[in-house]
Each structure stands twice: as C-alpha cells, then as structure tokens.
A = this chain, B = another copy of it.
Amino acid sequence: MLGLMQYHPLMISSAIEFAANYHGDTEIVSRRVEGDIHRTSYAEVNRRAKRIANALDAMQVARSARVGTLAWNGYRHFELYYGVSGSGRVLHTVNPRLHPEQMAWIINHAEDELLCFDITFLPLIKAIAGHCPGVKHWIALCDADKLPADTGVANLLSYEAWIGAASDQYAWPVFDENLASSLCYTSGTTGNPKGVLYSHRSTMLHAMAAGSPDVMGLSSRDCVLPVVPMFHVNAWGLPYLMAMVGCKVVFPGAQLDGKSIYELFESEQVNFSAGVPTVWQMLIGYLEANNLSLSTMKRTVIGGSACPPAMMDTFREKYGVTVFHAWGMTEMSPLGTYGTLKGKHELADWPTQRALLLKQGRPVCGVDMKIVDPEGNALPHDGKVSGDLMVRGSWIVKEYFKGEGGQILDHEGYFSTGDVANIDADGFMQITDRSKDVIKSGGEWISSIDVENIAMAHPAVAMAACIGIRHAKWDERPILVVVKKPNTDVSAREILQFYDGKIAKWQVPDDVQFVDAIPLGATGKMQKAKLREMFVNYALPQ
C-alpha cells in the first residue's frame, strides 16, 4: 500500500528557488578575476540562472547535454550550477589545473557542447579549442567589452552578452530526480580520468546530510567562504547546501593566497570555511608573519588530505578555530565521514578529543561503511584492525560515465575506496594508508602515512613521502623522500633518529632521500606512482 503524501522529485532548482523566495536579499560576495569585489543576492542569482536556462533553450541545447565550466569560485560559476542543472542539462566542472591535453581529453569524453571559462583561462582555451571539435560555443565569463577583439577562438561569446539577451522569466522544470545533474572526473592517477555522473536526487540528499549539525552544521546565520574549488567535486556540495540554508556566501575567485583569504575573512565576517591543507598553510603563514588574528572565523573543514596535527593545534590555540576533518571522494559526492565529536566525548580531556579530531571522522548518516580483508570478509570495528574501506549509499557512485572501469561494486553493492582504514565502535574512521601505498614488509603492513606524519613534525621538513622499495627478504622496505624547508639543513641520519621511540624499529625507513620537489597532482595530492617511477633504479643501503 502506497503512502498518501505528495510526491515532489528532489530537484536542484528547488534550492535556489527557496533561497530566492526566503533569503532573497542575502549577499553573495565574489572576488572576481577582474580583481574587484562583486556583490549580488540569491534573488539575483536565481534570476540570472533563469536567463542561462532561457539562453540554453535558445541555443537548442538538449536535455542532458553537457555544459562544461573552467572557472574559479564566483557568482557566475554559481549561476551556472543552477542554470545548467536546474534546466535539465548536465554541468561538467573541469579542473583548470589539469594538463591541457588531459583537459581536452575530458571535454571530448564528456561531449561538452558549451564551455564556459573565466577570461583568465583564455590562453588555455586557445590551446585546446582546436582539439575539442564537439564544443559548439566557448563562453567567456565576462562582460562583452572585456572580450579581446581577435582571440582566434571560433564561436566565442561573452557570458554577459549571452545571458543578457535572455529573459529572467522561467519556470524551473520538474522531472525524474534520478536524471543526471552534473559530471566530475576523478583526477585519475592511473589510466584515463573517469567521470562520476551525479543525479538531482544524489546531489540533494548529499546536501541535506552535509548541512546537518553532525556534519557542516550550516544555517542561515553563517557566512561561508568555500576555498574548495567548485571544479572539485562540486565544492563538497556547498553550492547546493548554501542556497538550501540561505547563508551569506563569499567566493574567493582565483586568489587563494593567505593575504587574500584573510582579507575576505575579516571584511565579510566569514565564520565557516572549507578547503585543503595547503591553502590553510598559506593562511597561517600570512597570519603569523603579520601577527594577525581572526575575528569571526570559528570552524573550518579540511578534506582532500589530512590536516597535519600541528596545523590543527595552531588553528585552535592561536586563532580559536576548530578544524574538522572530512573524508570522501569524487565518487562519493564527496562526503563519507566528518569529524564532529559525539556527546560522550564532550567531557573528555583535550588529548582524547584531539586524537579523535585527527581521525577522518565518522559516517555521515546515509553512508554505510565496512572494512574488509583481502578475501572480502568484513573486519571488526574495534579501532585497531585495518582493512580495505568500502562504502555504500545514495550519493555514492554505481558505475563510471560510459561504463569505464566496468563493474565497480562488490556483491553487497559496496564501492571500494582504495583506502586502508580502521573504524572504532563509535564509527570514527582512521585512514592508515592508500591500498596501493601501504608498504608490505615481512608479512606486516607499514602505513606510509604514519611514517610521513612523524617526519612532517621535524622542523626542517617541508614535505615527506614514504614509498616501498622491493626487498629480497622482506618483500618491501620503506624509504622516506624529503623536501627540506628553505634555509634549513638536516641529514638523513638526523631524520631517522627523529623516529626513535615514535614507531616500532622495523617500521622506521631504511633510508632518507632528499629531493627538490615531490610531484603533486591537480588537486594537490602527492603522486606516489610518479615518485616510485623516480626511484625505480634506486638501491636500498645494505
């Protein structure tokens, strides 16, 4: 027997319509690539998103056609999130940090028909346009008069001219909530990038869960600055969630240096932010160098990679900011876990709380997690045993775009994250390694992350990567690859001594190798596959 409640599909457009209706005057502030500060409102974003929808209709862009973006965080990108997905097309956010060849490959694979880009990316567009024959229109996110006269790019329009010609009267269509809304490619450390095709349902359920008090806990009283890029897993769902709660929004544009972020935090009274550790490192560097404090900032979520413990301490002790870890993947929309404490931990002492906050967090309600041994058997949640981490839920991928990679779920419908983790009885999950980075020595596993974290606490170490080197007797032995901080010196021996008493002797690396730089991927993560290639001819000390 069916229930007798109204059925309304979960639609992305309903978020911006709600914000326009009940938070119409709330500010959306953007630092533009033009350099100035721009102010708009949810009501205006909704009107301009409707212009986009009409402009796409006028171009006869079909439902489910892909519209690419190559843009920083700003109000025009925000408008595209709603105008494109809300009208039934698929928003494909392209990472501008990719290699141009890879970018063209992705645009072609996605079959983008339009590509909207920040005008600063014009040189990049010139380089790839000839390789993307499927793109019918290139749209520069600027006023018509900012468009150079002779760009050499065919079918180039200015965004403002394009949407300016369209009406802002438009009724958002209602359709199957399982239809595709947006597309994001994984960075693809091996093989070609793979597309994750989100639906309206997955996006809205994810945003609702992300907003809850055990996760981001956002309300209409917050002022949010998303540092995490809108080309990176939909800025962790914030563009949808922010509209759903009607909070004030501050978009930082292309300037993610410490000074620029600090100025926006203070001038706009930001109290919540989200980003990867490298950006916060720059911010703390700027604050320390200039002896500044943060007057409104209260909470930040760090994902992408783990927050170094020292950074978490600095944020808390010097700046009064609580850092929460989030963990997820492009394949997970991305939120899987979030690091808020539970009631039982509130009276615990700081070292206990800190140890929990340094884990990757506990499952967002809606995400099922399990850890399994190599045979796929579930392992206990005792906070000790590690296994391959598997996830299942309404905002987790079922298969990749165009079926790339084939069947990717196990017999129970779980997706393998590629992380090795333990989970405690309260659900706090701790990643001990990437499956492919874990070092197997004499039948035991050595966590490359544990080894790196210790090294990172050494005052002379700027960056450290631990990789396994083939060994005749032990299968693999760890070595540490180190980038020194500028104007410091340290020997391999000193770094190895630094491990004394911190981990078991057999887990201490066999060697330390110094390099000028460790290869980083488009999202700032260390590329260990490349690093291993660099050391393919390396021989361990005898």
* Chain A residues proximal to chain B, CB less than 8 Å: 1-8, 10, 14-15, 18, 21-26, 64, 90, 176, 178-181, 196-202, 205, 208-209, 211-214, 217-223, 244-248, 333, 340-344, 346, 362-363, 365-366, 392-401, 409, 413, 415, 425-427
Contacts and interface: CB of A to CB of B under 8 A. Distances in A.
B425 A24 contact: yes
A343 B223 contact: yes
Contacts of A199: 2-5
Nearest to A177: B3
Contact of A2 (B178, B222, B247): B178
Given A18-B365, A208-B209, A394-B8, A221 B1 contact: no
A3 B180 contact: yes
A3 B247 contact: no
Contact of A426 (B23, B180, B217, B393): B23
B6 A413 contact: yes
Contacts of A220: 214, 340, 342-343
A394 B6 contact: yes
Which of A4, A197, A221, A223 has the most chain B CB atoms inside 10 A of its CB?
A: A4
A428 B361 CA distance: 36
A1 B413 contact: no
B3 A202 contact: yes
Contacts of A222: 343
Contacts of A344: 25-26
Contacts of A427: 21-23
Nearest to A399: B4
Nearest to A364: B18
A342 B23 contact: yes
A477 B516 CA distance: 88
A384 to B, nearest CB: 17
Q: Report which residue of A1, A211, A341 has the largest number of chain B beta carbons within 10 angstroms of its beta carbon.
A: A1
A523 to B, nearest CB: 21
Nearest to A195: B4
A26 B399 CA distance: 36
Contacts of A413: 6
A449 to B, nearest CB: 23
B211 A179 contact: no
Given A2-B179, A6-B393, 7 more contacts: A1-B197, A2-B176, A23-B426, A26-B344, A212-B245, A217-B219, A221-B341
A394 B245 contact: no
A212 B202 contact: no
B245 A213 contact: yes
A195 to B, nearest CB: 8
B3 A201 contact: yes
A401 B22 contact: no
Given A179-B2, A396-B6, A219 B223 contact: no
Contacts of A211: 212-213
- Which are the 9 A-B pairs with shortest beta-carbon distances? A3-B199, A22-B427, A213-B219, A1-B64, A5-B202, A4-B197, A3-B180, A221-B343, A220-B342
B425 A7 contact: no
Given A179-B1, A426-B23, A394 B341 contact: no
A6 B196 CA distance: 11
Given A211-B213, A343-B222, A363 B22 contact: yes
A4 B400 contact: yes
B392 A3 contact: no
A340 B4 contact: no
B90 A1 contact: yes
Contacts of A26: 342-344
A479 to B, nearest CB: 38
Contacts of A343: 26, 220-223, 247-248
B6 A365 contact: no
Contacts of A25: 344, 425
A333 B1 CA distance: 18
24 contacts: A1-B64, A1-B90, A1-B180, A2-B178, A3-B198, A4-B401, A5-B398, A6-B392, A6-B393, A7-B201, A15-B365, A22-B426, A25-B344, A25-B425, A26-B342, A213-B219, A213-B221, A214-B245, A214-B246, A217-B217, A220-B342, A221-B343, A246-B342, A248-B343
- Which of A201, A340, A343 has its CB near the most chain B CB atoms (within 10 A)? A343
